[in-house]
Amino acid sequence: MTDTDTYEVEEFARIGRTFEEYAHMFDLEPATLTDRSVLDCPSGVASFVATAHEREIPATGADLIYGQSVSDLERQCERDYEHAVSELSAKKELFEWDFYGDVEQRCQLLRQAYETFLDDYPKHSDRYVPTALPELPFVSNAFSVVLSAHFLFLYGDRLDYEFHITSLRELARVAADEVRIFPLTELDTSVYSQLDAIIEELQSDGFTVERRRVPFEFQTGANEMLQITDT
């Protein structure tokens, strides 16, 4: 594919999503999360953790960027936001717009997400743990639900199979109830090439693994999540 056929991302994007976007991406009923501990990993500059606490959901974000200062994070957010605006405006045809409506509304939510995060981050640093996959500093079954968005599978062109399976096992280790991963597609919109092997290996570990359709699609074809539970 040429660069006009794909959404271009250098390294890993510092753009965030809102709580409402998470609810759709992961097919969540927010009321069912009240008083259930939730891990968002990698959480990045999403506003999920901040909004979750407003809704009395004890959420924790995990990401290596949390060792950085607010000013450094703000600069990165602005840079990646401008890149996202440019890419979205130039490549509107690569996306489905039922959820967002148009580029302007999509970009408004991007800014809302990272501004909410930047406001919450210095006030409640205990909610944000500076760490990264494939090894997390949490005890087994530390969280009821673990969510992971726009990282595993999406960056299949730069994260190898061993990283994926090790990371998924680690997420499952710290989840008492379930892990949800979204999306299952890479940046070029194709389903992660080794997804079947991943599922088979996790099933061999004793997990129940299911591909589930979700009520959200922005990247064309990205309308499924992977749900991992203990059998």
CATH number at residue 158: 3.40.50.150
pLDDT over 50 at 35, yes or no: yes
Residue 7 lies in a domain: no
| Residue range 149-174, pLDDT digits in tens | 999 999 999 999 999 999 999 999 99
Residue 35 lies in a domain: yes
pLDDT over 80 at 231, yes or no: no
Residue 12 lies in a domain: no
What are the two backbone dihedrals, phi and then psi, of residue 59, each rounded to the nearest 5 degrees? Answer: -110, 150
Q: Looking at the 3D structure of the chain, how many domains does it have?
A: 1
Domain that holds residue 205: 19-230
pLDDT of residue 5: 58
**Pair of tokens at residue 15:** 């753009």
* Number of C-beta neighbours around residue 203 at 10 A: 13
Which of these ranges, 77-91, 108-122, 128-142, has the smallest mean pLDDT? 77-91
Residue 5 lies in a domain: no
Q: pLDDT band at 9, cuts 50/70/90?
A: low
pTM of the model: 0.94
Q: pLDDT band at 15, cuts 50/70/90?
A: confident
Residue 1 lies in a domain: no
| Residue range 43-58, pLDDT digits in tens | 999 999 999 999 999 9
Residue 10 lies in a domain: no
Rounded-to-integer distance, Cα 110 and Cα 130, Å: 22
SS (HEC) of the chain: CCCCCCCCCCCCCCCCCCHHHHHHHCCCCHHHHCCCCEEECCCCCCCHHHHHHHCCCCEEEECHHHHCCHHHHHHHHHHHHHHHHHHHHHCHHHECCCCCCCHHHHHHHHHHHHHHHHHHCCCCHHHEECCECCECCCCCCCEEEEEEECCCCCCCCCCCHHHHHHHHHHHHHHEEEEEEEECCECCCCCECCCHHHHHHHHHHCCEEEEEEECCCCCECCCCEEEEEEEC
pLDDT of residue 8: 53
pLDDT over 50 at 2, yes or no: no
Residue 174 lies in a domain: yes
pLDDT of residue 68: 95
Residue 33 lies in a domain: yes
% residues pLDDT > 90 (the chain):
91
pLDDT over 60 at 3, yes or no: no
| Residue range 201-229, pLDDT digits in tens | 999 999 999 999 999 999 999 999 999 99
pLDDT over 90 at 75, yes or no: yes
